[in-house]
């Protein structure tokens, strides 16, 4: 009888130990799943934060079907305009931005919003061609940037984007 009780106790202990080890495994799985869900929720929050930081110009660019080169050219244009904010030879309307670079992006966004995608691509192609032509000579490139900024001076005076586009087409 003692042997039976001892064997029963040993079996009970063994079965209890195996249940505990089996119980910890699902808990680990649950912990892993909850960590994955938590990390996914963190990603969503980060995406929302990043999305809220996106400028209207960036949103517009993402909607257009621009290739990498066209995006680089648009970046060149925007950066050239920002660079020319401090140039004393640029038009009065351009200076009315108060040196605020964000107004450059707002104005470029407004300008592009009023154009069709093929017009935007045509303009970017001309800018790219002229940039590539003048890139070897820094003086010519600087002059070209000044021409771009002067062309955009009309946009800062609240002129019609189509008129400015046609003027830029002729100047570029």
The 8 Å CB, 24+ separation contacts for 99-106 are 102/55, 104/78, 105/55, 105/56, 105/57, 105/78, 106/56, 106/57
In this structure, what DSSP letter does residue 115 have?
S
Any idea where the domains of the chain sit in the sequence? 1-53, 56-171
**Model confidence, pTM:** 0.59
> Which of left, alpha, beta for 73 (phi over 0: left; psi -120 to 50: alpha)?
alpha
The tens place of each residue's pLDDT in the chain, 172 residues long, gives: 666 677 767 766 666 655 555 544 455 555 665 555 555 444 444 444 444 567 887 888 888 888 999 999 999 988 888 888 777 767 666 666 666 777 788 888 888 888 888 988 998 999 899 899 988 899 999 888 888 887 777 666 655 556 666 666 665 5
* Contact predicate 50/99, CB 8 Å: no
Q: Which two tokens stand for residue 93?
A: 């309307």
């Amino acid at each position: 009888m003692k042997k039976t009780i001892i064997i029963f106790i040993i079996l009970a202990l063994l079965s209890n130990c195996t249940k505990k080890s089996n119980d910890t495994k699902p808990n680990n799985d649950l912990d892993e799943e909850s960590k994955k869900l938590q990390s996914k929720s963190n990603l969503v929050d980060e995406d929302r934060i990043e999305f809220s930081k996106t400028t209207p110009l960036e949103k517009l660019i993402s909607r257009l079907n621009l290739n990498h080169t066209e995006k680089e050219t648009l970046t060149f244009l925007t950066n050239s305009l920002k660079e020319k904010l401090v140039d004393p030879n640029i038009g009065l309307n351009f200076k009315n931005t108060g040196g605020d670079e964000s107004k450059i992006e707002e104005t470029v966004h407004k300008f592009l919003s009023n154009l069709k995608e093929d017009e935007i691509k045509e303009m970017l192609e001309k800018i790219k061609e002229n940039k590539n032509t003048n890139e070897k000579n820094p003086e010519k490139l600087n002059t070209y940037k000044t021409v771009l900024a002067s062309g955009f001076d009309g946009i800062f005076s609240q002129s019609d984007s189509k008129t400015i586009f046609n003027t830029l087409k002729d100047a570029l």
